[in-house]
Amino acid sequence: MTDLKFSFTELMQRKPALVSLVIILILVLGAVCAPLLAPHDPEYVELGRALLRPQTDYPLGTDHLGRCVFSRLLYGSRVSLGASSLVMICNISISLVIGILAGYKGGWIDEIFMRLGDIFLAFPNLVLTLVIVGMMGPGLQNILIAMVIAQWAWYARIIRGMVLSLRESNFVLAARVSGVPSFHILLHHILPNISSQVLILATLNVGWAILHISGFSFLGLGIQPPTPEWGVMLKDSRSYFWSDPLLMLFPGLMISSAVVSFNLLGDALKEIAGMKGNL
């Protein structure tokens, strides 16, 4: 179970993984090079050009305020991917620290963090996030904080479980018997041995975060209107669904392709790692 090494070639042999990796790469490239690729200013309003069909000047048409949909999608991917990666990094690093500490040290540290985690896990994720956003007010920053608060316990628990089984392993005992300091054991024996599983968790977490950030923006709780974001675009185009269905199709496609890609990639990694059960 422990000697997992992801081989890149093995990943490449899986078609879904390959396709999703390519999609993710395209999205990331688009986000990074948005200022170069975007034909128009994403926030420039020109009511005279509202609701245009796709044409050479506007590759994906314009929205109800005459803004270029393609440019908005590109800039939107910056927000979506950036924010969700941030959520993932915060989530994973917080839960790594807590999970490893609780799992390895045990005792009261374990009790405190896990009972605290139990409290967070007792509420449905979405409800908890909504409550926190409701208290702190809408906005990207608050949404991110709320998502991390709602999610850390879940990952901390999984990581703690992995650490628990590793802690009992013979090689950790062997290291302790030869007088290796705990910190060194954590860093050189425990962490490398759970890194592959954590990578899977991280990949799956990004997909989840994209979906939720867009979802909250759609509800008007996340990113606020002038800023281009997929969820916001989806919300804005809702009223034009019958007259201009394309307006809703593009951001929807972006969200689903990004989420599906990250999930497929995570699944492929999981398969390669030979992990059983659901994460």
Partner 1 sequence: MDRNSDTIFKIENLFVKIPTRQGTVHAVNGITLSIEKGQTLGLVGESGCGKTVSCLTALGLQKKHFRVKGKTCLNHREIHMLTPSEKRRVLGKQVGFIMQNPMQAFNPLITIEEHFRETIRSHKKASLSEVRKSANDLLQKVGLAGYEKILHQYPIQLSGGMLQRVMIALALILKPRLLIADEPTTALDTTLQSQIVKLFKKLKKNSDISILLISHDVDMIASIADKISVMYAGYIVEQGPTEEVISRPLHPYTKGLLLSRPRFSKERLHTIPGHPPSLLNLADGCPFYQRCFSSGPLCPSFSMDLQHCGNGHFVSCAYIDKSFDKHKVQEHGSPRDTVNF
Beta carbons of 115 and 153 less than 8 angstroms apart: no
Binding part of the chain for partner 1, among 6-14, 30-38, 154-162, 186-194 by CB under 8 A, reads: 186-194
CB of 178 to partner 1, least distance (A): 4
At closest approach, how far in Å is the CB of 195 from partner 1? 9
3-state helix, strand, coil in the chain (%, to 5): 75, 0, 25
107 binds partner 1 (CB under 8 A): yes
How many other C-beta atoms lie within 10 A of the C-beta of residue 183?
A: 8
Q: Does 56 bind partner 1 (CB under 8 A)?
A: no
Q: What's the rounded Cα separation, in Å, for the pair 251 and 70?
A: 10
Termini Cα distance of the chain: 16
Q: Counting contacts by CB under 8 A, is residue 179 touching partner 1? A: yes
Q: Which of 177, 242, 243, 276 binds partner 1 (CB under 8 A)?
A: 177
Ranges within 189-208 binding partner 1 (CB under 8 A): 189, 192-193
Per-residue binder mask for partner 1 (CB under 8 A), 1-20, x = binder: -xx-----------------
Distance CA 108, CA 118 (A): 15
Binding of partner 1 by 165 (CB under 8 A)? no
Q: Does 264 contact partner 1 by CB under 8 A?
A: no
Which range of residues in 117-125, 151-159, 184-192, 267-275 is near partner 1 by CB under 8 A? 184-192
CA–CA dist 246, 51 (Å, integer): 10
- What is the CB neighbour count within 10 angstroms for residue 156? 28
Total residues contacting partner 1 (rule CB under 8 A)?
21
**Rule CB under 8 A: is residue 181 a binding residue for partner 1?**
yes
Assess contact for 142 and 136: CB atoms under 8 A: yes
| Closer CB to partner 1, 255 or 272, in the complex | 272
**Lookup: tokens for 145:** 């904080």
Asked whether position 100 contacts partner 1 by CB under 8 A, the answer is no
Among 175, 213, 247, 254, the residue binding partner 1 under the rule CB under 8 A is 175
Question: Structure tokens of 1?
Answer: 């179970």
Sign of the torsion formed by the C-alpha atoms of 218, 219, 221 and 225:
positive
Q: Which lies closer to partner 1 via its Cβ, residue 36 or residue 177? A: 177
Dig out the tokens for 273 from the structure: 């790692």
Interface residue with partner 1, options 126, 174, 219, 253 (CB under 8 A):
174
* Distance (Å, whole) CA 227 – CA 91: 25
Asked whether 160 and 103 are in contact (CB, 8 A), the reply is yes
In angstroms, what is the minimal distance from the CB of 202 to partner 1? 19
Judged by the rule CB under 8 A, the positions of this chain that interact with partner 1 are: 2-3, 106-107, 169-171, 173-181, 184, 188-189, 192-193
